[in-house]
Amino acid sequence: MSLATFVPALQLRVADAREIARDIHLFELRAADGADLPEFTPGSHLEVLTPAGLVRKYSLCNSAFERERYQIAVKREADSRGGSASMAEALKVGDTLPVGLPDNAFALSSKARQHLLIAGGIGITPVLAMARWLKDSGEGRFKLVYCTRDAAGTAFLEELTSPEWRAQVTLHHDGGDPEQALDLWPLLENPKGAHVYCCGPRGLMEAVRDMTGHWPGGSVHFESFGAENRDTRHNTPFTVRLERSAMTVTVPADRSILDVVREHGVAVPSSCESGTCGSCRTRLLAGQAEHRDMVLMPEEQDDNIMVCVSRACSDELTLDL
């Protein structure tokens, strides 16, 4: 969401702000008067107006049973354009943070008999909220697999290695070497009525997608963290022709197709705005797209595009908008 369309619903006080792992900062948000906050469900996120004046989405990581606070964890990205950097460097206890109401594009399925939760890096945030809720509610069996580079970069390490969690959590450090990545196939070979929830770096999500092609439809769920922090240095501008609207627009290197067409009055549905939910699927009529989503199968990519994240390989795309 752009700053022009963001209307904060709450003004919350920062009750805690600290670094909990290398470059990962935890923020606890409460109402200034101590009142309960609006309910949320596991997998929800908040839209936040960062100190840099940029609107960003951060997953809630505390238990949904807690009404007195929200917790978010923010990774200070090296290539940050001001969002995560300003949160890590400028936000202090006692500050006021404008936020939207909780929204969920990564919800737990009520049909699952068991849940396999897979996280990488800062992708632990929505997944941990799920694990905490499942643990607190007793609503379903679950296993949490958390992959990181090393212990120093592992958020919530002390909690997840405690006796209370040990039986349900697998931690894996690869040292930054892809050859040392955890082999997920033994976990994904047989669906057995489970649902998978995966959040983390693109490589991890692609590996999970590739290994779950035989799973029943609707049983594998992805959330792409940090879509707004994607490195845009190698993006190039391109033109989009809107067939039904009889309009041609230019998409700059630092903006999405979705943002630009909405700015020109063309309505497009969306939810996650990170290429994982499929809400903004649009017919691609001409041109070659650079697909950055986690939804489209290879056979669908010639004729469809997720306009929230994907870009163009050709100079121009023609869309059915």
- CA-CA distance, 205 to 202, in Å (whole number)? 5
**What is the mean predicted confidence (pLDDT) over 14-32?**
97
Phi then psi for residue 186, to 5 deg, are: -60, -30
Q: What is the pLDDT of residue 278?
A: 80
pLDDT at 227 exceeding the cut of 50: no
Burial 75-95 (b: 16+ CB within 10 A, else e): bbbeebbebbbbbbeebeeee
Percent of the chain residues topping a pLDDT of 90: 72
pLDDT at 267 exceeding the cut of 60: yes
In one-letter notation, the amino acid at residue 22 is: R
Q: Which tens digits make up the pLDDT trace of 168-187? A: 999 999 999 989 999 999 99
Q: Which tens digits make up the pLDDT trace of 294-312? A: 788 788 899 999 999 999 9
Residue that wins the pLDDT comparison between 225 and 249: 249
Q: What is the pLDDT of residue 276?
A: 74
Query: Residue 105's pLDDT band (boundaries 50, 70, 90)?
Result: confident
Q: What is the pLDDT of residue 305?
A: 97
Q: What is the pLDDT of residue 270?
A: 81
Q: Which tens digits make up the pLDDT trace of 116-168? A: 999 999 999 999 999 999 999 988 799 999 999 999 999 999 999 999 999 99
Q: What is the pLDDT of residue 55?
A: 86
- Domains of the chain plus CATH, in order, are 3-99 (2.40.30.10), 114-227 (3.40.50.80), 238-319 (3.10.20.30)
Residue that wins the pLDDT comparison between 111 and 79: 111
| pTM, entire model | 0.80
**Tokens found for residue 260:** 């630009």
Query: Residue 228's pLDDT band (boundaries 50, 70, 90)?
Result: very low
Please list, in sequence order, all residues whose beta carbon lies within 8 angstroms of the beta carbon of residue 130, skipping any fewer than 6 positions away. 42, 43, 108, 115, 117, 142, 197
Place of tokens 């970069």: 153
